[in-house]
Structure 1
Amino acid sequence: MRQTIAAPLLALTLLALAPHAHAAPPPGPLAFTPPPESAMPGGKFGDAVKLGENIFRHTTIFEKGVIGNALNCSNCHLDAGRLAGSAPMWAAYNAYPAYRSKNGKVNSFGMRLQGCFAYSENGKVPALGSPTIVALEAYAYWLTSGAPTGTPLAGRGYPKLAPPPKPATYAAGAAVYASNCALCHGAAGQGQYARGQTVFPALWGDKSFNWGAGMGSIKNAAAFVHANMPYGAVGTLSVQQAWDVATYIDSQNRPQDPRFTNSVAVTRSKYHNNKYSMYGKTVNGHILGDQARGAAP
């Protein structure tokens, strides 16, 4: 007696026996525009969003005593985290949770923000669920209103930058810096300030990011510079100039990596062992990274 195969099972069987079809290629990053300031919500949630925006724009005021330098979040994430190609918050929020090789675990967006406080802000780390982290999460969430989750958005991070036509050098970068950067950031990279507030951020020294920050990678710094600098004259630097000036900036003294372990050499081996980090290398007779704690190389 013949048995009848149930319709769903028959369909699965035929699908398994059919020749494999080529899957359609995944779509490219989607274009997205964050909501305007005028669309910011009211009520308690709106209060959290506004607080997050204020922390983001004026970190040195709202998180004084928490951060350890003179940088605002908006100094690296331009236009208060709105600008495409400048690591905008709306393109980052919908990409988490995600695995990060930097700490070897799957990170929530809140954990990613904690990393910014530890490295880019060279400060204390607010707890998950703290008013600071919740407000920043609320702000980023609101900026992402209407965007799909888990789908890459065009403008995330920094635009990929081609390798330099020739090896980048400190000397060439110093010339680029003097001509294009020193007017705003200072000849010694110290930044500019007015009434105690940061106008142009420090690029090295005690008021800048520490050695563990993403901007401490020449690759990241070059991509940021090429896409976003000089302020008011974007597009005037060549690929070569961006790599040269990034090499110069990332070859200066700055606060110690908070992951410092035993010595500069050990810390470089564990966290900076790549061609884009100057940590532990000798520049102008000085081993970069040994100044903050008096560590032996």
Structure 2
Amino acid sequence: MQSDDRSGPTHAARGGMARKIIIAAGGGIALAALGTVTYELGLLPAWLVGERVIETAAEDGKNENFRPPSDDDIPNDEFGAAVRRGREIFTNTGTAAAAHVGNGLSCSNCHLNAGRQPLSAPMWAAWVTYPKYRSKNKQINTMEDRVMGCFNYSMNAPASTSGKAPPHGDDIYRDLESYFYWLATGAPTNTKVEGVGFGSVKKPAGGYDLVRGGQVFAENCAVCHGPDGQGQKDINGRYTFPPLWGGDSYNWGAGMARIDTAAAFIKHNMPLSQPGKLSDQDAWDVAAFLDSHERPKDPRQKGSVEDNRKANHDGDETLYGQIIDGKLIGVGVGVAQVPDLTPPAAGQ
């Protein structure tokens, strides 16, 4: 779901059209069959993820169009090499930045189409938005600060072999920022740009319902993410569709662990082959259903879950710290023991 479409011979084009029709009719079943094309590597074509031109509002009030450059436009020089490394880190994070990833996710699981997709927090839009103040840590954040937070929460870096996000100044940030800068080539600054972030979906007047959410999940999400929400892996043990909860998913500190954030992402981007199919109510219900399951512990927690809820989740739209089916949500689950990679002392 992350790459640009590629033209081919006439018979191949007809085959592509046939695949489009199959997916339009079969939705998730066809998409599951395409899983080995690799959901998180950026290999799914633009027609599947709905890549679109972004409309922006210029200072003179007129609208402008913006489209991120294609991979074919990456320059063949030192900077281009950094851009390609950044794209590889972004779409294959668990391999390219393995020491700092403590789960089975990649950046492109949430930032679709390799960071291009509007309303999936596209990176070209993020690049022209930072530095900015964030209430999450109550300070001005640079892009490097923001990405470090993504490693800590979405990539669950505390459970990685290094036990932490890449340190400030690491080449991982230089390469990722080179990729973001390049994606933003020609993007307007100091103006409102459509497609920034995940958008928003108003909370239904009647709230949300976990039972309905489970039904929405079974009917629309399980075909790719599995009936148990643990994703699907290829023959090499690598996720083709990511886990949505459990020890290999994002931790309780991630933005996607908030129901309103997840609802907006789901509404605008899922199911992958039919974004926008779900109603606002469906999106909120299934987002709450995801949030009712355990995931790795919030690394900011000091003391009890209740202490952390008051300190870091107060006012959030989340089930963190609540009792669901007799269980306290937020205690953390499934964090594998980080192996000790310290070389043995001489003579041992």
What range is the shorter-chain TM-score in? 0.7 to 0.9
Shift of 1:267: 0.1
Letter aligned with residue 142 of structure 1: W
Partner of 1:282: 323
Q: Which of 214, 226, 243 lines up with 2:284 in the alignment? A: 243
Partner of 1:219: 260
**Equivalent position SS for 2:239:** strand
* Counterpart Cα distance in 2 of 1:100 and 1:174: 33
Shift of 1:162: 2.2
Q: Which 4+ runs in 1 deviate beyond 3 A? A: 25-31, 291-294
Shift of 1:31: 4.0
Partner of 1:21: none
Letter aligned with residue 223 of structure 1: A
Q: Map Cα deviations across residues 113-164 of structure 1 (whole Å, 9 max, x no partner).
A: 0010000110121122211111000000000011233333211112221222
* Counterpart Cα distance in 1 of 2:244 and 2:62: 34
Q: Which of 303, 308, 320 lines up with 1:267 in the alignment? A: 308
Q: Which of 50, 64, 67 lines up with 1:33 in the alignment? A: 67
**Equivalent position SS for 2:240:** strand
* Counterpart Cα distance in 2 of 1:245 and 1:202: 15
Shift of 1:293: 10
Map residues 69-148 of structure 1 onto 2, 5 A cutoff. Answer: 69-123=103-157, 124-148=164-188
* Counterpart Cα distance in 2 of 1:27 and 1:239: 30
**Equivalent position SS for 1:135:** helix
Which structure 1 residue ranges, 5 or more long, are not aligned? 1-24
Shift of 1:216: 0.5
Partner of 1:13: none
Task: Determine whether 1:207 maps to 2:241.
Answer: no
Partner of 2:190: 150
Partner of 2:209: 169
Q: Map Cα deviations across residues 44-88 of structure 1 (whole Å, 9 max, x no partner).
A: 111100000001111111122310000011000000000111110
Is the 8 Å Cα contact of residues 246 and 333 (structure 2) preserved in structure 1? no
Letter aligned with residue 313 of structure 2: H
Partner of 1:8: none
Task: Determine whether 1:196 maps to 2:237.
Answer: yes
Letter aligned with residue 108 of structure 2: S
Shift of 1:165: 4.1
Q: Which of 60, 69, 88 lines up with 1:54 in the alignment? A: 88
Letter aligned with residue 85 of structure 1: L
Partner of 1:182: 222
Task: Determine whether 1:231 maps to 2:272.
Answer: yes
**Equivalent position SS for 1:65:** helix
Shift of 1:240: 0.4
Is the 8 Å Cα contact of residues 203 and 249 (structure 1) preserved in structure 2? yes
Is the 8 Å Cα contact of residues 301 and 308 (structure 2) preserved in structure 1? yes
Query: Which is higher, the Rg of structure 1 or of structure 2?
Result: 1
* Counterpart Cα distance in 2 of 1:145 and 1:173: 40
* Counterpart Cα distance in 2 of 1:238 and 1:247: 14
Letter aligned with residue 172 of structure 1: R
Is the 8 Å Cα contact of residues 247 and 333 (structure 2) preserved in structure 1? no
* Counterpart Cα distance in 1 of 2:175 and 2:63: 27
* Alignment RMSD (CA, Å): 1.8
Shift of 1:275: 5.0
CA 29–282 in structure 1, closer or farther in 2 if over 3 Å, else same: farther
**TM-score, normalising length from structure 1?**
0.87
Is the 8 Å Cα contact of residues 30 and 153 (structure 1) preserved in structure 2? no
Letter aligned with residue 262 of structure 2: A
Letter aligned with residue 135 of structure 1: D
State percent identity of aligned pairs: 45
